[in-house]
A and B are shown apart, each in its own frame.
Chain A
Amino acid sequence: MGKVVLVTGVARQLGGRFVRRVQRDPGVDRVIAVDAVVPPHRLGDAEFVRADIRQSAIARILAEYAVDTVVHLDVSGKALGAGGRTAIKETNVIGTMQLLGACQKSPTVQRLVVKSSTSVYGSAPRDPAVFTETTPPKSLPSGGFAKDAVEVEGYVRGFARRRPDVAVCVLRFANILGPHPDSPLADYLSLPVLPTVFGYDPRLQFVHEDDVIDVLGIAASEPRRGTLNSGTFNIAGDGVLLLSQCSRRLGRPTVPVLLPAVTWVGSALRTIGMTDFSPEQIRLLTHGRVVSTVQMRETLGFRPAFTTAETFAEFARSRGPGLLPPETVGRAVDRLAALPLPGGAGPRERGAGAVQTTHGAR
């Protein structure tokens, strides 16, 4: 008997891509794609079942198709179409509870993969610079998606305790970027002018959508030799980018805002519907967050194809140039460099020296 994989949250880009990818796996017989809304994209040969995971119908689906692998991707920070924070929170938390309850009853389920986020670590000045999977958060997220993720992980841990026979893998993804990102951070980075917190330059890590799909594939299949794919893993690309670097590479100017005023700017932006500038988002953009990916490499045996910088470069390309494209700025500097050089005579060179001096004397 081959594998029957159930994927939730398939109406999102990421879920859709994973469904199309996992059905090509030779070990997989059937893919059941579940979501409350009909996906706008193709799902290939997968069987789409329209079901809300907040309802108990999900247990019937698990039993009907004798599902053995459940990939829970319906944990997200951003609403799909209409619906506010309340709807997302319900899907994230109540949906997970229903799904886990169904899994607990199901005799066929052998493997559970849950998409989580590094936002469970929170973001505080008293945190160590690099989070490992075992670092306890100094300040638990007080709300928003981060709190949902913490609660989802709590329920997953409870499930793992009650069903020790099921291999449970929790993947904590850093900020996912790619050609079709739908995260609040991607929305933020798409603003023409980036409001930043004055006096803070957060460290950010990104992971490419392709790598997300790959690592989900690894987690959803049998572990390869010498690796273990149950447990909790941080997933992020190599390297770190500062927000200032990101804005320069995107060519989008920044507007530093004093920390007390950030909340107002955030709610103003939220009101006009430009981005979900939630408190946890602001904390990420204040203190930043970097996670260790040693476990991902050594235990899970996954090496991301894209570094943080490459992921970001791809994202920047897909967004198009900003108001101050790096190429233009770079050319301006080159023109400046070319200014005093032609001629090359003594007085000109001295002139160049003088210009440098005045800049230096500032």
Chain B
Amino acid sequence: MADAKVIPFDDDRSRSGGGARPARRRTGAGGSGRGDGSAAPVSALPGAQVPEQGDVPSDALSGLSPGAGETGGGPGVPGPDEGRSSAGGWERRIAGGLAFLRRRITGDYDVDEFGYDRELTDQVLMSALRPLADTYFRVEVKGIENIPSDGGALIVANHSGTLPLDGLMLQVAVHDNHPAERHLRLLAADLVFHLPVVNELARKAGHTLACAEDAQRLLEMGEIVGVMPEGFKGIGKPFGERYKLQRFGRGGFVSTALRAGAPIVPCSIVGAEEIYPMIGNAKTLARLLGFPYFPITPTFPWLGPLGALPLPTKWTIQFGEPIPTDGYPPEAAEDPMLMFNLTDQVREQIQHTLYKLLVQRRSVFF
């Protein structure tokens, strides 16, 4: 199986000829099978994989040496010139990876006041999520030009899918498709910051608690902030109610955007609803565990961990026309009528786009 897959990898390699390949291709594979998986990390950013190096070097060497032999032999096949130029590329990558590793293990990197670790996000977390976005869910992004290239903006999106994968995919989509490679700072529920490991990763990926103070601070710093105002009502809704937007909280996101004068970019995500079709909710178990809901899907928890694998649906993320908020007087943020109107406007726009995208969609999986 591995042999069969190594051939396309070598093809790919000789075609690229040591030149810089588009960033997207580097980690393009990985989600869809072991064969692809073995090819992907070879071309992956060294920095992305290096942190694991310290843990198990011997294990990696002994356990996976056949694959290493194959790929090591690869550059030799096309010819000596080819081999040298790609080896030069490797050297640079290794040097870059080792420099990254050195910075990481000596603690010589910066985080912002929210705990956002830009280097780790770019090199590791994004690289880990990218195969999921590109290969598994095949996220198609439309209207990326609606996100400004500089200054703050509030992206308001629908929320679905039982697990907040839509937020993570949105983050990858914004970063990889935007010409300015903007980083999305997501606002997450407090549950995220209760859970061990999750909270650590969320903070390092630039997420913060969904509260007016944090949102405003980020917007004033000129960041792109992502919010999903439906919250648990949206993500934990049963499969039968898919693509029906829930209440948009109390519209706090509108007053925050107004205070910061940041435009609101409505965003519709299609495809996330079907990744874990939630057909039931084990409320007692949820209460016991302290979660807002405990999903029962056709596969989970029946198949155990395998049931937790999301269905490979085809996703579309559409960013709509930005709604400017800088034309309002400062006291507008205190006007509940205006808040409700703007909230409804944003909600309607997202809902309409959702219906439009659903009509255009050929199938859930393609």
Query: Chain A: residues with CB nearer than 8 A to chain B?
Result: 125-130, 132, 135, 197-201, 203, 239-242, 244-249, 259, 287-288, 290, 326, 329-330, 333-334, 336-337, 340-341, 346, 349-362
Is there a chain A Cβ closer than 8 Å to B345's Cβ? Answer: no
List the A residue with the shortest CB-CB distance to B37: A361
Q: Is the CB of B64 within 8 A of A358?
A: yes
Q: Given A326-B107, A359-B57, A346–B84 Cβ distance below 8 Å?
A: yes
Please report the C-alpha to C-alpha distance between residue A249 and residue B113 in the assembled complex, in whole angstroms. Answer: 18
Set A126, A248, A333: member contacting B107, Cβ < 8 A: A248
Q: Is the CB of A248 within 8 A of B94?
A: no
Q: Is the CB of B97 within 8 A of A356?
A: yes
Set A200, A242, A329, A349: member contacting B105, Cβ < 8 A: A329
- Taking the closest CB of chain A, its distance from the CB of B267, in whole angstroms, is 23
Please report the C-alpha to C-alpha distance between residue A125 and residue B191 in the assembled complex, in whole angstroms. Answer: 8
Please report the C-alpha to C-alpha distance between residue A360 and residue B86 in the assembled complex, in whole angstroms. Answer: 17
Please report the C-alpha to C-alpha distance between residue A249 and residue B112 in the assembled complex, in whole angstroms. Answer: 17
Lowest 7 CB-CB distances: which A-B pairs, in order? A199-B196, A248-B107, A360-B41, A354-B72, A349-B87, A125-B193, A199-B197
Q: Given A200-B200, A245-B111, A360–B102 Cβ distance below 8 Å?
A: no
How many CB-defined contacts (below 8 Å) exist between A and B? Answer: 173
Interface hits, B184-221 → A, CB 8 Å: 190, 193-200, 203-204, 208-209, 211, 213-214, 217
Q: Count how many chain B residues have C-beta atoms less than 8 Å from C-beta atoms of the other chain.
A: 68
24 A-B pairs, CB-CB below 8 angstroms?
Answer: A125-B209, A128-B213, A198-B196, A199-B195, A199-B196, A199-B198, A201-B203, A203-B111, A203-B115, A244-B107, A290-B113, A330-B106, A333-B98, A337-B95, A346-B80, A350-B75, A350-B83, A350-B87, A352-B87, A355-B61, A356-B97, A357-B41, A358-B60, A360-B49
Among A125, A241, A355, A357, the most chain B Cβ lie within 10 Å of the Cβ of A357
Q: Given A128-B213, A200-B199, A337-B98, A361–B42 Cβ distance below 8 Å?
A: yes
Please report the C-alpha to C-alpha distance between residue A359 and residue B65 in the assembled complex, in whole angstroms. Answer: 10
Among A197, A239, A246, A349, the most chain B Cβ lie within 10 Å of the Cβ of A349
- Taking the closest CB of chain A, its distance from the CB of B83, in whole angstroms, is 6
Set A129, A353, A356: member contacting B115, Cβ < 8 A: A129
- Taking the closest CB of chain B, its distance from the CB of A302, in whole angstroms, is 19
Please report the C-alpha to C-alpha distance between residue A201 and residue B117 in the assembled complex, in whole angstroms. Answer: 12
Q: Given A288-B115, A350-B83, A358-B67, A125–B194 Cβ distance below 8 Å?
A: yes
